[in-house]
Chain A
Amino acid sequence: MTESSVSLWGQWEVVVGLEVHTQLLTKSKLFCRCENRFGAPPNTLVCPVCLGHPGTLPVLNGEAVRLGVRAGLAAGCRVSPVSTFERKHYFYPDLPKGYQISQYAQPLLTGGALRIRTEAGERMIRIHRMHLEEDAGKNLHAGIPDRSHVDLNRAGVPLLEIVSEPDIRSPDEAVDYLKRLRQLLRATKVSDGNMEEGSFRCDINLSIRRPGTSVFGTRVEIKNVNSFRFVHKAMVYEIERQIEAVESGEKILQETRLFDPVSGRTKPMRSKEEALDYRYFPEPDLPPLVLSPSLIEEERLSLPELPEQRVERFCAEIGLSRSDAEILVAEESLARYFEEGLERFRSAIADEEGLRKVRERWTSFVLSEVLRELNRRGEEVLSGPTGVTHAVDLLEKVLGGSLSFSQAKEVYSRAAEEKKIPVSLVEELGLVQVSGEGELSALVEAVLAENTEEVAAYRGGKDRLFGFFVGAVMKKSRGKANPEKVNEILRNKLKG
């Protein structure tokens, strides 16, 4: 690992810690058995427990505990054999009991780290803690005069709060940390990390200081910044705001601010006189959470391959470059597509050399064509007519010599557009690659005859002209000539 030089913002060092709230992929809520599901009609996934009715008690969901443990193990955290739940008090319409049940004094997980890579280099961002807590409901205001509406379907949905150490030094690093964290949670099936649906939300703690100092500046918290782009924007705005303030002699207030995506600014969230004192104390309805060692062991053993390990494997076993491997692994579904395709070729091709060639082609195809279509059209490209089996069939035509690689790329893009099976499209368009010796020889003869001066020059030592002849033959064939065969025939004829 190489420690990058501290990145600076003018004369200032930026110090950032992130708090991520991620919804866990359980079937039911954290303390009641209402369904944990997004998008249901308002107040249909509620019961006396999550409505905060009198007489109700929380009953801890074992799967939420498992998912928390799994996430922690994946990030190298220490799993606490005993952890505690506390109550955090404040009055707000989306908080039915008037308190949130959250782990405070002894969180489920402590320590751990995530490796990030930005242009500035590779660094470890330490994780301070991860803990379980319940989500709040939703308040709605849009289009309602004088009133707000409350939907409690989300109240009680299990959250894992993941708190980093203040190790992040730039907006790029913050975004990379968040992307890798989300990748990890998805790979372990802890969370779907869906930011649009609010299942992966981020609070930013940001301060600035002079480089070389060890004390922290006054910290500002920016709440609920819910896309990677907004995280970047909010941080840039806030960094510049703080620098400007400090440089013009103002004091930074320790406060909570909200990012406004429309103006791109952050603004103070609550009035200063409001008293906030959460009065944490042990939740008397939940005894301390004592984990059985077997639960921890089971989760450890069932841990899937983690993104970082996958990158290593792609580099070491498949021979991908680190950057290619990172791109693939960043998109879990694309990585799966890639590996499935590779598996198909592997069972069809026996020799090492052939396999190496196929791997190169397939990697380049997936990273350029498939990734582009994925970004353009979304996940559905990865199944159906442009799914992995059909993509492999298409590439097999290239390997068999009946289609050129450039033709294949064009066909894939059109297939995605028209939702057609690529191989059928090849037939429909009458695409074939000319590989026949006789036909190609005739083409080469014709080109050489048309360019006698160049032939003389080449034979006189101007090697660079070889490419010119190849291009001319390809052009004459209207792209259908098999370039490898053309090379071979040209070389022979030019010798002569």
Chain B
Amino acid sequence: MRNPFFTSLSDFAKGRDDKRFSIEEVTRYFLSRTESLNASLNVCLSTNPNAINRARQLDARLARNGAQSPFYGYPVMVKDNFEMEGFPTTCASKILSGYVSRRTATSVARLLSLGAIVLGKTNLDEFAMGSSTENSAFGPTKNPWNPARVPGGSSGGSAAAVAAGLAPLSLGSDTGGSIRQPAAFCGVLGIKPTYGRISRSGLVAFSSSLDQIGPFALQASDALEALVAMGGRDPLDMTTDDRDPSEMRRDFQTTEIPGLRIGIPAEMFGEGLDSSIRDRLGELRDSLAGSGSREVAVTLPHSRFGINVYYLLATSEASSNLSRFDGVRYGFRVKEPADLRAMYEETRDRGFGDEVKRRILLGTFALSAGYQEAFYRKARKVQALIRGDFLKAFEQCDMILTPTSPSPPFAFGEKTGDPLSMYLSDVYTITANLAGLPALSVPVGLDSQGLPVGAHLIGPPWSEGRLLKVADKISSLYPMPLPEVHAGHPAGFREGGLK
């Protein structure tokens, strides 16, 4: 359901400045909606008790000084693997029980400094490991389109929050598709920027060389502004690039659809792709051609090894990143361990869920003596080949179009018994992380069962502005309905787009 106040970030800013509504009014609306729907959707793990206060203060300051940014007073939700000083950060894990963050993630801090209001923190797969939000220690999030289906993951809570109208903007993290796949499943826009565009400081690391932060939104221009606001070099993250994030705004404005070369990799439209999704994508290709863009056949020969490479590299880094959860300085520790070793082993065994343990074991194995060459090192080299494929393809095209997910949102429990089949749901999104490229998922309507379908665009490094311009065009071609969600049981959807 659309909120009754505004349709986009710029519309919000205008309404706010024209006194069509107060910031407090808007904040109260989203908070109360969250309160009434959270029991059935399980989107939020915590809400911000200071939100109303902050809204009041912002209203008061607005009366005196006016607003400097469209984000002034804008409500957002953040995935619960972002740190906010004084707030719990759970990563949907038992091992972080009781943990309170001492600092605020740079991405969140930059939005806060512009006046944004964080409403709450959203559910996720434990430590962002999963594709369905079923691996949360706090129970799964429901897909607002159909409560029997998963919202995707790992940023399922953030995607569902925007789809269900609990917030107009949310933040997620994407290591192998964790923004784009839930965006597709929930029928919203989600973008993962170029590696190095947004600081990872304050994002709890899953796989440091692949993790990137990005927004969920209903409008491409809203996502664009969020990226500009959060982007740019951060002295707290040495992997950030120092290019000016406002270049994205310029690219968004200057990109023209006519003449645009859209790369179509045959590898990603073949076997294993749900026919209903293939059909929607086929229509989209026709519409884009009708708008003057040109299709170019490209090939990404090594992309079929994406899953292999990803599950070696991501788990290797994860096994290392999660070593710090040891029960010594914060979080969970078992009671009365027999000795030091027992403290470590039992704390970690009981503190982590199954999927996390599986990945720690796999990553430890891939890095271990005698196997590192054949697994971790080999994967790094194949990663270089995958990256090379993309760079070659981008000599022929401006961006690449693929499906976001091979299947529509699946049912709860459908893939939990078979880790591999779950991993395969990231098959189209994973390579963008491996190559460090920007990529987004934009809704292209519903499939035959009435579930959202996403189109996936991958661009060369630093092409976010161009990708979003094309996403904006696609949104205008496929006005996306939003689901009608009621307290108690989310069901059905309401026709009618946002435009």
Contact = CB atoms under 8 A, between A and B. Distances in A.
Any A–B CB pair closer than 8 Å:
yes
Interface stretch (B183-191, B215-223, B326-334, B464-472): B326-334
Interface in B377-431: none
Contact of B204 (A47, A55, A93, A279): A55
Contacts of A277: 368-369
Given A91-B344, A279-B364, A281-B372, A56 B238 contact: no
B83 interface: yes
B59 interface: no
Nearest to B93: A54
B205 interface: yes
Contacts of B102: 47-48, 53
A57 B236 contact: yes
Interface string A78-119: 000000000101010100111100000000000000000000
Interface stretch (B278-286, B301-309, B315-323, B450-458): B315-323
Interface string B199-212: 01111110111000
Given A93-B328, A96-B329, A281-B376, A57 B323 contact: no
Interface in A238-265: none
B103 interface: yes
Interface stretch (A21-29, A282-290, A306-314, A377-385): A282-290
A60 interface: yes
Contacts of A93: 328, 340
B237 A57 contact: yes
Interface in B356-377: 364, 367-369, 372, 376
A281 B316 contact: yes
Contact of A52 (B99, B202, B324): B324
A55 B237 contact: no
Interface string B72-111: 0000000000110000010100001001011101000000
B372 A57 contact: no
B239 interface: yes
A282 to B, nearest CB: 8
B323 A89 contact: yes
Contacts of B340: 93, 148
B320 A55 contact: no
- Secondary structure at chain A's binding surface: helix, strand, loop or mixed? loop
A140 interface: no
A56 B344 contact: no
A370 to B, nearest CB: 49
Given A55-B203, A285-B208, A91 B323 contact: yes
Interface in A164-223: none
Contacts of A91: 323, 326, 344
B235 interface: yes
Nearest to B331: A54
Interface in A29-75: 47-48, 51-60
A56 B201 contact: yes
Contacts of B201: 55-57
A97 B328 CA distance: 10
B238 A99 contact: no
Contacts of B203: 55
Contacts of A152: 329
A148 B341 CA distance: 13
B308 to A, nearest CB: 17
Contacts of A150: 328
**Which one of A55, A59, A279, A285 has the greatest number of beta carbons of chain B within 10 Å?**
A55
A277 B369 CA distance: 6
Contacts of B328: 93, 96, 150
Contacts of B101: 53, 55
Nearest to A94: B328
A96 B329 CA distance: 8
B323 A98 contact: yes
Contacts of B323: 89, 91, 97-99
Interface of A: 47-48, 51-60, 87, 89, 91, 93, 96-99, 148, 150, 152, 277, 279, 281, 284-287
25 contacts: A48-B102, A51-B330, A52-B329, A53-B324, A54-B89, A54-B204, A55-B101, A55-B103, A55-B105, A55-B201, A55-B204, A57-B237, A57-B239, A59-B235, A59-B236, A59-B238, A98-B324, A279-B320, A279-B367, A279-B372, A281-B320, A284-B207, A284-B317, A285-B208, A285-B237
5 shortest interchain CB distances as A-B pairs: A98-B323, A284-B208, A284-B209, A279-B367, A54-B204
